[in-house]
Structure 1
Amino acid sequence: MLVPATAGHFETSLLVLGAVLAAGALVSGLAHRSFLSLTALFVVAGFLLGEGAIGVLHFPARDSFVTDLATVALIVILFRDGLEVDIEALQEHWHLPLRKLVLAMPLTAGIVAVAAKLLTNLSWTECFLIGALLSPTDPVLSAAVVTDARVPRLIRHSLNLESGLNDGLALPVVLALCRHARTRR
């Protein structure tokens, strides 16, 4: 359960959250007309208002309420994206998402792993773990591109489908690398 430090802090947190949501509603039109993602703006606002900077908001990341809220948000986002899948377009243009999932995602993971190895003192297992974590397209952050009418429909559909499937494909690799890293210590 989300329990703030003091009752006064709870009211302050609610006020700040309400102000952030109102500000988000005000800039949503700007975000839709530009490369800005409203989700990214909310992440930055959360960092600035949270313990990363100002410290007005105190929500423990491992709190069960925060975990449950994040889980429900992810389910809603993935379900919404699943409803937008055009089956006819998928049957005709299945090769685009397949190439992204089978070729681009592993190549990206490998490139990120090599870059991590060159830039850090981490083990290869840890570097490949970073690659596996960063290579999937995030469905929330890609929403700005997927919903932009200026992007061709086929590309939007392909990105939407790929972003919904890649986390599930990356998860076994991430779990195996975590297990391997744990057994090596």
Structure 2
Amino acid sequence: MVSKRMKIAAALAVIAVFVAYCVYASQHAFDTAGEPTVHPFRMDMGDKVLDTTLETYRGGDPARMIEFTLINPRVKRVYILFKASEVETDNPHLLKASASIGEGLGAAIGKGKLDMTPEDVIPREITWFQKVLIYSGFMGTESEPVIYFKTPNVGGTQDRIVVLRGIIIIESSTYENSYILASYVRQLVMA
């Protein structure tokens, strides 16, 4: 018969392994493997020119991959994830960026391109649990794609859009640029 101490030790070991997995998964949710196909381009907004890149780990044209990730018959829900800044003046740009993507998805729903409702577009501040779900393959799938804003407060240093399988990372060096890049994604979705 197994003693009570052995049961407690086994339970603590299981908990320790689970915690270690969650910590690892939350730190590596958006890791990439392999070499991306990179397409540099300039976005000219009249008063500002943004040199950016589109990168895909899926192969093919990144713009088409963005479109396919978000607009296909299997999509049932789209998550727009971000981490709010501690600096209050930065958050309006992040809000406008996520609203811009939501507007594009709403237009696609209205045109019948997506078989879902506006309530299935879910903007949220990212949590460690969502990162674990992404790493584990429960979010960021073909039926539940994720758009993640990697802004300066979470390590965003470049201006680029990275396309993974079921995940689109909009990385920006400034909060203003996150809105510009999100507007580009919105145009692709609305086309």
Tell me if both proteins adopt one fold, taking TM over 0.5 as the criterion: no
Normalized per residue, the structure richer in strand is 2
How does the TM-score come out when normalised to structure 1? 0.31
How does the TM-score come out when normalised to structure 2? 0.30
Normalized per residue, the structure richer in helix is 1
Higher relative contact order (CA 8 A, sep 6+): 2
